[in-house]
Structures are given as C-alpha cells and as structure tokens.
Amino acid sequence: MLSCRLRRGTGLRVLQDRETSRLVKNIVRASEGRSEILAELAIDSVVYHFESQDVELHELEVEAKAKKRRRILEDVEDGLLDLFGGELQPWRWGKLVTGKMIGRMLRGGVLQGLIEGRRLRLEAYEKVETALRT
C-alpha cells in the first residue's frame, strides 16, 4: 500500500481517513447581458472511514468572490435557509475536528442508534455540536 510506504519512509502518519467529493458552482448576478460572479458554492460529500464503520455527511461552503463580501455571504446564507429550512445547520468546525469528534463519540458508544446506514441523523449532529462546544 502506497500510504504505508510513505509513512515508513517519511515519518508521516495518517491523522484521519476520509474522502471528500466536491461540486463547485458559481453564484452569479446577471445584469445587462453580463454575469458577475458573486460567490462560490462548494457542495461537499465527506465519508469518514473509522474502524467500526463509515460515516457520511454533507457540507455547503460559501466563499464570496466580489466586493461587499459580508453582505453577499449573508444574502446567500439567507437564501439557502429559505430554500432548505431545517435541513441546513450552520457549522463552524472544519472536517478534521468534526471527524475526530465523531470518531471519539463512536468509540464511546454515544452515537449508537443515531446513524442510519452511514449517515448521521439530526440528533447526532446536535450531540456532535454540543461535544465540540465543550
């Protein structure tokens, strides 16, 4: 396995085993025959590979590309929340920290019954968020 050879030869070690698939879309304002890119929307599907099981989650990231960044981000966030309501939840932690916490909670049995297939149920996100805040 290539990663094992790399680790032995370089002293590197795997911190987290995960796969991320990303779809990127531009958010544009069309005006008078031309388009201005306001922001970039990244839609991520993340699969964490733990010893006991795989866990998948989905994430939206918005990066402003135009002037008035804060206003653009607020407008995009408001629009997404209007469209998807309770299906979306603001998340301030990165993939590494989130994955480490999920792994810890899996090992401790805290997420038992809160994963359907390999997807976290809403209650699981709430537990992970509470644990990350402490």
Nearest 10 degrees: Cα torsion 118, 120, 121, 124: 140
Greatest Cα pair distance, the chain, in angstroms, is 59
Predicted TM-score of the model (pTM):
0.81
Asked if residue 21 lies in contact with residue 44, where contact means CB atoms within 8 angstroms, the answer is yes
pLDDT in tens, the chain (134 residues): 445 555 566 777 888 999 999 999 998 887 767 778 888 999 999 999 999 899 999 999 988 887 777 888 888 888 888 998 878 888 999 999 999 999 999 999 999 999 999 999 989 999 999 999 98
